[in-house]
Structure 1
Amino acid sequence: MEDYIEGALAAGHIRPSTSPAAAGFFFVGKKDGGLQPCIDYRGLNAITVRYPYPLPLVPVALEQLRGVRVFTKLDLQSAYNLVCIRKGDEWKTTFHMTHGHYEYCVMPFGLTNAPAVFQALINGVFQDLLGKGVIAYIDDILVYSASMEYHVHQVREVLTRLQRHHLYVKLEKCKFHRSAVTFLGYVISRQGVEMDVVKVRIL
Structure 2
Amino acid sequence: MNVMKNQHDELVPMRIQNRWRVCIDYRKLNQATREDHFPLPFIHQVLEKLAKKSHYYFLDGFFGYMQIHIAPEDQHKTTFTCLFGTFAYSRMPFGLCNAPSTLQHCMISIFSDLLQDCMEVFMDDFM
Do they fold alike, i.e. is TM over 0.5? yes
| C-alpha contact 2:50 2:56 (8 A) present in aligned 1 | no
**Secondary structure at 2:28 match in 1:** helix
| Structure-2 separation of matches of 1:52 and 1:113 | 8
Q: Which runs of 5+ in 1 are unaligned?
A: 1-30, 143-203
| Structure-2 separation of matches of 1:99 and 1:71 | 44
| Structure-1 separation of matches of 2:123 and 2:52 | 25
Give the aligned partner of residue 139 of structure 1.
124
**Secondary structure at 2:76 match in 1:** helix
| C-alpha contact 2:24 2:80 (8 A) present in aligned 1 | yes
| Structure-2 separation of matches of 1:87 and 1:44 | 17
Give the aligned partner of residue 10 of structure 2.
none
Post-superposition CA distance 1:53-101 (Å, at most 9, x none)? 1111112222223541111110112111111111211100001102321
The answer to whether residue 102 in structure 2 is matched with residue 117 in structure 1 is yes
Cα distance 1:103–1:131, how it changes in 2: closer, same or farther (>3 A)? same
| C-alpha contact 1:45 1:111 (8 A) present in aligned 2 | yes
Task: Give the counterpart letter for 1:74 in structure 2.
Answer: L
Select which of 28, 31, 37 maps to 1:52: 37
Task: Give the counterpart letter for 2:110 in structure 1.
Answer: V
Task: Mark the structure with the bigger radius of gyration.
Answer: 1
Give the aligned partner of residue 90 of structure 1.
75
Identity of aligned residues (%): 36
Give the aligned partner of residue 4 of structure 1.
none
Post-superposition CA distance 1:17-60 (Å, at most 9, x none)? xxxxxxxxxxxxxx413264321111111111001111111122
Count residues with an aligned counterpart: 112
Q: Which runs of 5+ in 2 are unaligned?
A: 1-13
Q: CA RMSD in A?
A: 1.5
Alignment of 1:12-23 (within 5 A): none
Alignment of 1:1-203 (within 5 A): 31-34=14-17, 36-142=21-127
Say which is worse superposed, 92-101 or 113-122, in terms of deviation: 92-101
Give the aligned partner of residue 147 of structure 1.
none
| Structure-1 separation of matches of 2:103 and 2:84 | 31
| Structure-1 separation of matches of 2:22 and 2:83 | 16
Higher helix share: 1
Higher strand share: 1
TM-score norm. by structure 1 comes to 0.52
